[in-house]
Amino acid sequence: MIRVLVVDDDFMVARIHSGYVARVPGFTVVHAAHTGRAAIAAAAEHQPDLVLLDIYLPDMSGLDVLMALRSVSRPVDVLVITAAHDVATVRAAMRGGAVNYLIKPFAAGALTERLEQYAHVHRRLATIGSEVRQDEVDRLFGTTRGGPPPLPKGLSVTTCALVSDALKETGTDISAAEAALLTGLSRVSARRYLEYLCAAGQAELRPRYGTAGRPEHRYRWTG
């Protein structure tokens, strides 16, 4: 589980954000803090993996909290959630090491998407090993070679990773029906993810021709 600390000066907003986080598989909220000093103390006590951090706090700037959280011996990842939309604040958050930046107000899906992206990178880093190749870095950052195409509406990063892992682990080509069995998805959903992986250059389509009728679509991981 990815442990999350929610920081917002508004008690009700903190509760809402905590509810959003709790609904995303693989995440759990360990604490909610409402001031900068309380956030720093809670991070030291609860050792979260990720902090959802507001900028406008009653006792200190969230940017100062960000710097404090990133300068300790066990730095924590920070996702900034704030109404601040000026360039100077966004730039300061980026320089401070924020993993993402979400401007209020936003729909629950916007936070879910960012949490799923974070979980995907978190999981990939945990499985890569002690050294990483440049192409793996490119995929993690998603900023070079144009990056992969965006996921179509209705598809999630977490489920896409599930299909990717299933395709990779088979070591051979599989059909959408077989992918559905391996992942617990419907055949239609599995096919949509497989088609996306082909468009992203991570899989290839291999038609298998039978004795009659249309060829069966088979998919193979290419990485």
Contact between residue 55 and residue 84 where contact means Cβ atoms under 8 Å apart: yes
Residue 58: CB atoms within 10 A of its CB come to: 9
What dihedral do alpha carbons 140, 61, 106, 10 form, nearest 10°? 130
Q: What is the pLDDT of residue 214?
A: 65
Query: Rounded distance, CA 111 to CA 107, Å?
Result: 7
DSSP letter for 152, please.
Answer: P
Distance (Å, whole) CA 89 – CA 69 = 17
Among 117, 43, 141, which Cα is nearest to 53's?
A: 43
In 3-state terms, what secondary structure has residue 76?
coil
Strand order in the sheet with 100-103: 27-33, 2-7, 50-53, 77-82, 100-103
pLDDT at 45: 95
Instruction: Delineate the domains of the chain, giving CATH numbers in brackets.
Output: 2-115 (3.40.50.2300), 148-221 (1.10.10.10)
**Strand 216-221 relative to strand 203-208: parallel, antiparallel, unpaired?**
antiparallel
Whole-prediction pTM: 0.64
Tell me whether the omega of the peptide bond preceding residue 105 falls within 30 degrees of 0, making it cis: yes
Is 90 exposed, middle or buried, given 0-12, 13-18 or 19+ CB atoms closer than 10 A? middle
The sign of the CA dihedral 65, 143, 18, 127 is: negative
Residues in CB range of 113: below 8 A, 6 or more apart:
156, 157
User: One digit per residue, pLDDT tens: the chain, 223 residues?
Assistant: 899 999 999 999 999 999 999 999 889 999 999 999 999 999 999 999 999 999 999 999 999 999 999 988 788 999 999 999 899 999 999 999 999 999 988 888 889 888 988 888 887 777 777 777 776 776 666 544 445 667 777 888 888 989 999 998 888 899 999 999 999 999 999 999 998 888 777 888 877 766 555 677 889 888 7
Q: What is the pLDDT of residue 73?
A: 79
